[in-house]
Structure 1
Amino acid sequence: MSQETDEIQKVVEETATWVPRLREEIRKVIVGQEYLIDRLIVGILANGHVLLEGVPGLAKTLSVRTLATAIKADFSRIQFTPDLLPADVVGTLIYNPRTSEFQTRKGPIFANVVLADEINRAPAKVQSALLEAMQERQVTLGDETHFLPKPFLVLATENPIDQEGTYPLPEAQVDRFMLKLRVDYPSKKEELRILQEMATTKPKTDVDPVIDLNEILKARETVDQIYVDPKIQQYAVDLVFATRKPSDYGLDMDHFIQFGGSPRATISLILAAKAWAFLQGRGYVTPHDIKTIGMDVLRHRVIPSYEAEAEGYASEQIINRIFDTVAVP
């Protein structure tokens, strides 16, 4: 197995040469936010959608747009509002009286990178229009199915404050996001740099494309080859099972969890860990990779009970206790 791992390691080193170039290009516009940028790249590599939560002004939208430009991807931005309709997202059929036929008008969902801005400001009927696109990578209009371009990635933002006029995301849609990121304020040093570089009437927002989509697709093939030891696989399964039945792992927390992670969480955990290992230039996954990316995979899938909320337990605290308790291989 070590010989096979060595071969995968060589492939990773050859394939991942574009990662430093991409990071450097993004840094021309984005100051700090290393956590955000790295997780966005993980989403692209692991073919998983990303949900970003943070207060306004933290460069969430700018980061997504910059990333899409740097990888030569078609970018589409959808501003979710209460009056948005499903047809405004996926498209619709338009009747042509000249030909007496319906013609397909594709919506903005037909792009490589789709930014769903303030996704929780649209009602459930609009949010549900994304379900088929996010899971099957296709859209059905009338009796025809249209496949979305490859790669296809939905990056959605939501605002944790100012909840007036917002709608909670359905569980089925939340579970379709591989990662949920909590975007925090920059450090004092980073904010000083932001001030020095962006406090102008013409802030720099232009980046050059440094990689193309074929390189992304090739990198995904390499990510699939990254070695995951059976013990690591069992560790991921144990972590997700512990979110469903903590008492089986010695945790008296069953009453704190309303819903735990689904099998999709286990799959996402391994895929995201593989992508993270790729970013580190490794051809194998370690338990530390699982722990590093695990919070982003699980925080939106572990739903605390009312009792947990009453006692001040958020999903992050529950997950941290699970990480501290489940035996590491």
Structure 2
Amino acid sequence: MTPEQSAWFAETFDTLVENVGRALLGKDRTIRLALTAMLAEGHLLLEDAPGTGKTSLAKAVAATVQGSHHRIQFTPDLLPSDVTGVTIYDQSSHRFEFHPGPVFASVVLADEINRASPKTQAALLEVMEEGNVTVDGVTHPVGRPFMVIATQNPIEQAGTYRLPEAQLDRFLIKTSLGYPDRASAVEIMAGAKDRTLNLPARITTQAVGTMADLAQTVHIDASVLDYVARLTEATRDDSQTSLGASVRGGLALVRCAKVWAASTGREYVVPDDVKDLAQPVLAHRLVLDSEAEFAGVTAEQVLARVLADVAPPVLRVA
């Protein structure tokens, strides 16, 4: 990436954040994380209470990139074919025709994903990993860009199916929206309408693919890669974790750091990019041991300690 390309990337990224921010007031960091997940070609997991703007975020991102948006309300009786689509025999043409499911969209909101059965969860997560759907031996690509924004309600856990750790690892970033500050809440209530309506597109889906390709050309020094490796190793060696961040977690952190660097107008990654993203990228990949969990320790606390203990690379001046 050249300095000119990084300047264009940062300007375009800020335009996208500003546009989505018109629908989601006071949530710039969460918006930046969502767009980072999209441009790193990954998926986002939101753990939040109802009514915090999760649907608005998905609709606003889709509208901003001139893409399509579908919402899937996950329930215990939802079938995998309800997500991916089904092949139906057409008597008039004497042929089987594929009817695509709601997963065929630029942005898919998987609302309360933990309420569906593990089989249905697995069907969605397979599409997330492969980028296509196979029905009756025929493969159907879902297109590009493709991002799943899955939500979980942390309050009501009765009758839910917790996502296994191996499936949580498939999500590039996990974060939350939270409630808006008072000034933003007053402004939202004063409007009393869906702010995603008539939201203008700022970029085409083809340009999103161009930005994603460009972000992966951002330079990352071997010392920063070593820093990422030491961080993930430290999460595995920590006495309070039974399972730390995998190599996939390290790769996810590198992909996100490249987008994060480009979004600030740099064509290279610095250790602060890694620090900024470590919590949303790695925390949900940690599994605490039973004693730590019983004592009330959180994955975020473990990761904060790891970040404090593992020294970042020092800038060398020639």
Pairing 1:205–2:196 present: yes
Equivalence map 1:153-232=2 (5 Å): 153-198=147-192, 202-206=193-197, 207-232=199-224
Stretches of structure 1 that go unaligned for 5 or more consecutive residues are: 1-6, 247-252
Question: Could you tell me which residue of structure 1 aligns to residue 280 of structure 2?
Answer: 296
Q: What's the CA shift string for 1:236-293, capped at 9, x where partnerless?
A: 01111111113xxxxxx2xx21211111101000001111111111111111110101
Distance in structure 1 (CA, Å) of the matches to 2:284 and 2:21: 28
Q: Is the 8 A contact 1:8 1:225 kept in 2?
A: no
Pairing 1:260–2:244 present: yes
Question: Could you tell me which residue of structure 2 aligns to residue 57 of structure 1?
Answer: 51
Distance in structure 2 (CA, Å) of the matches to 1:38 and 1:130: 24
Q: Which amino acid aligns with 1:305?
A: D
User: How far off its partner does 1:120 sit?
Assistant: 0.8
Q: Which amino acid aligns with 1:227?
A: H
User: How far off its partner does 1:179 sit?
Assistant: 0.3
Equivalence map 1:282-321=2 (5 Å): 282-321=266-305
Distance in structure 2 (CA, Å) of the matches to 1:50 and 1:210: 21
Q: Is the 8 A contact 2:59 2:196 kept in 1?
A: no
Question: Could you tell me which residue of structure 2 aligns to residue 34 of structure 1?
Answer: 28
Q: What's the CA shift string for 1:55-80, capped at 9, x where partnerless?
A: 11111111111111111011111111
Distance in structure 2 (CA, Å) of the matches to 1:245 and 1:204: 46
Q: Is the 8 A contact 1:16 1:219 kept in 2?
A: no
Question: Could you tell me which residue of structure 1 aligns to residue 99 of structure 2?
Answer: 105
User: How far off its partner does 1:313 sit?
Assistant: 0.7
Q: Is the 8 A contact 1:123 1:167 kept in 2?
A: yes
User: How far off its partner does 1:45 sit?
Assistant: 1.0
User: How far off its partner does 1:9 sit?
Assistant: 2.2
Cα 1:13/1:311, change in 2 over 3 Å: same
Distance in structure 2 (CA, Å) of the matches to 1:178 and 1:17: 24
Q: SS at 2:150's partner residue? A: strand
Question: Could you tell me which residue of structure 2 aligns to residue 116 of structure 1?
Answer: 110
Q: SS at 1:139's partner residue? A: strand
Alignment equivalent of 1:24, drawn from 15, 18, 24: 18
Cα 1:215/1:120, change in 2 over 3 Å: same
Distance in structure 1 (CA, Å) of the matches to 2:145 and 2:205: 7
Alignment equivalent of 2:226, drawn from 231, 234, 252: 234
Question: Could you tell me which residue of structure 2 aligns to residue 249 of structure 1?
Answer: none
Q: SS at 2:259's partner residue? A: helix
Q: SS at 2:52's partner residue? A: coil
TM-score, length of structure 2 as denominator length: 0.94
Distance in structure 2 (CA, Å) of the matches to 1:27 and 1:236: 31
Q: What's the CA shift string for 1:69-111, capped at 9, x where partnerless?
A: 1110111111111111100000112123444432211111111
More divergent stretch after superposition (305-314 vs 179-188): 179-188
Question: Could you tell me which residue of structure 1 aligns to residue 120 of structure 2?
Answer: 126
Number of equivalenced pairs: 312
Q: Which amino acid aligns with 1:140?
A: T
Distance in structure 2 (CA, Å) of the matches to 1:16 and 1:204: 25
Distance in structure 2 (CA, Å) of the matches to 1:153 and 1:203: 22
Question: Could you tell me which residue of structure 1 aligns to residue 316 of structure 2?
Answer: none
Q: SS at 2:38's partner residue? A: helix
Question: Could you tell me which residue of structure 2 aligns to residue 3 of structure 1?
Answer: none
User: How far off its partner does 1:215 sit?
Assistant: 1.4
Question: Could you tell me which residue of structure 2 aligns to residue 276 of structure 1?
Answer: 260
Cα 1:177/1:203, change in 2 over 3 Å: closer
Q: What's the CA shift string for 1:183-209, capped at 9, x where partnerless?
A: 2222223222223233xxx44432011
- Identity between Structure 1 and Structure 2 (%): 39
Distance in structure 1 (CA, Å) of the matches to 2:73 and 2:190: 30
TM-score, length of structure 1 as denominator length: 0.91
